[in-house]
Amino acid sequence: MDDYLSVAATLPEDGCAGALVGRVWLPGDPPGPAVVSIRAEGVFDLTPLVPTMSELCNADDPVALARAPEARRLGELAPILANSRWDRRGPAHPWLLAPVDLQALKAAGVTFARSMLERVVEEQVKGDPGRAAGIRERIQAVVGADLHTIRPGSPEALRLKEHLVAQGAWSQYLEVGIGPDAEIFTKSQPMSAVGQGSEVGIHPASYWNNPEPELVLVVNAAGRIVGATLGNDVNLRDVEGRSALLLGKAKDNNASCALGPFIRLADPTFGVDDMRAAEIALTIQGEDGFKLSAVSSMSEISRDVEELVRHAIGAHHAYPDGLALFCGTMFAPVVDRGEIGLGFTHRIGDMVAIGTAKLGSLVNRVEDCTKIPAWAFGTNALMHNLALRGLL
């Protein structure tokens, strides 16, 4: 993991050319979280100006705040990154947190045709990965059409739905994948996400699971995309496959949501078109020598990122603290890891790296979610901590 926690691996390809902001845990009396900007000159504390990332993202000009000249320099990025590794965090040094705080943690599901078919497979096998290959072939034979070319909610999508219903092949996943309404669900609770170098959690009852590497939109209370980051929407395929009503158990467990390394704010160097064009690379490296690499292209998403935002926030639903919205993934691994026909699943100790040119790289290690320190610092703790430090 050390190589992935270097400055060069963590930062975007153009370094600090954009407006990068994040959060770190600062030592002190008392210690606590700080909103920071990452610049070529080092890491700078913005907390006296904006005590929460939510407030920064809701500001009239987040980029101006990120570049405020009066911010105090905390030091170089390299030692903060080194101290962010889950097993090396020293209490005397800062380490990286997830770059959002009070924002709602939401996710859009079934937004890529390739992963949509895998969700249908999960539904059909009822949690048994050994049946996946056969059912996958049957579903592809029935569907036939190139789902990537079908616009959700269009007359063509409606005709395909009628055909699939007649064939007995309709699915709730196809409903949200090509129907008029996007799936928007709660991934995790505000303040619960983990950041760069942390462990991500897999429920010990799960035997079929995977990472979901995703672009994550950072949206303010007015519904405007103010930036983006990377996320790992850790998923238990066996649990969701048993019943869609188990989505909460499949998605929301201790440390099952990772975000980072930083938020890149929208500015002349980075905008919505860059988000639309992003290539999201994934590498999984196991302690057993297993390695898997894949790339998801945001250009293949079935709904535009701004459309997803409109499904999540608007007159029908307000988020006064803003939200972080996972865009979904086309990654649904079918390569066997071990016994033939059982596909991929995580093993404890897997290293997961998610990267893209304009946002850098997010890296985490997989662990049993019951063995990772429990989430204990929530919204109430944040308010008390900021008040105690004289920041409210």
Longest dimension (CA), the chain: 67
d(CA 297, CA 283): 15
Regions of the chain where pLDDT drops below 50: none
pLDDT tens-place string over residues 309-344: 999 999 999 999 999 999 998 777 778 887 777 778
Sign of CA dihedral 202, 20, 386, 31: positive
Q: Which two tokens stand for residue 224?
A: 């405007």
d(CA 144, CA 152): 17
Q: Please tell me the predicted confidence (pLDDT) of residue 246.
A: 93
Comparing C-alpha atoms, which of 185, 156, 166 is closest to residue 302? 156
| Contact yes or no for 89/195 (Cβ under 8 A) | no
Comparing C-alpha atoms, which of 271, 111, 98 is closest to residue 194? 98
Comparing C-alpha atoms, which of 132, 202, 238 is closest to residue 346? 202
Q: Residue 138 CB: number of other CB atoms within 10 A?
A: 12
Q: Please tell me the predicted confidence (pLDDT) of residue 340.
A: 76
| Contact yes or no for 313/319 (Cβ under 8 A) | yes
| Contact yes or no for 135/125 (Cβ under 8 A) | yes
Q: Please tell me the predicted confidence (pLDDT) of residue 275.
A: 98
Region of residue 220 (phi > 0: left; psi between -120 and 50: alpha; otherwise: beta): beta
| Contact yes or no for 72/53 (Cβ under 8 A) | no
Work out the mean pLDDT of the chain and round it to a whole number.
Answer: 91
Q: Please tell me the predicted confidence (pLDDT) of residue 240.
A: 86
Region of residue 197 (phi > 0: left; psi between -120 and 50: alpha; otherwise: beta): left
Q: Which amino acid is at 392?
A: L
- Which residue in the block uniquely carries the two structure tokens 């066996």? 238
Instruction: Give DSSP secondary structure letters for 181-219.
Output: S-EEEEEE-TT--B-TT-EEEE-TT-SSEE--EEEEEEE
pLDDT tens-place string over residues 23-32: 999 999 999 9
d(CA 76, CA 242): 48
Strand order in the sheet with 351-356: 199-202, 360-368, 351-356, 279-285, 291-297
Query: Based on the number of CB atoms within 10 Å of its own CB, is 161 exposed (0-12), middle (13-18) or buried (19 or more)?
Result: middle
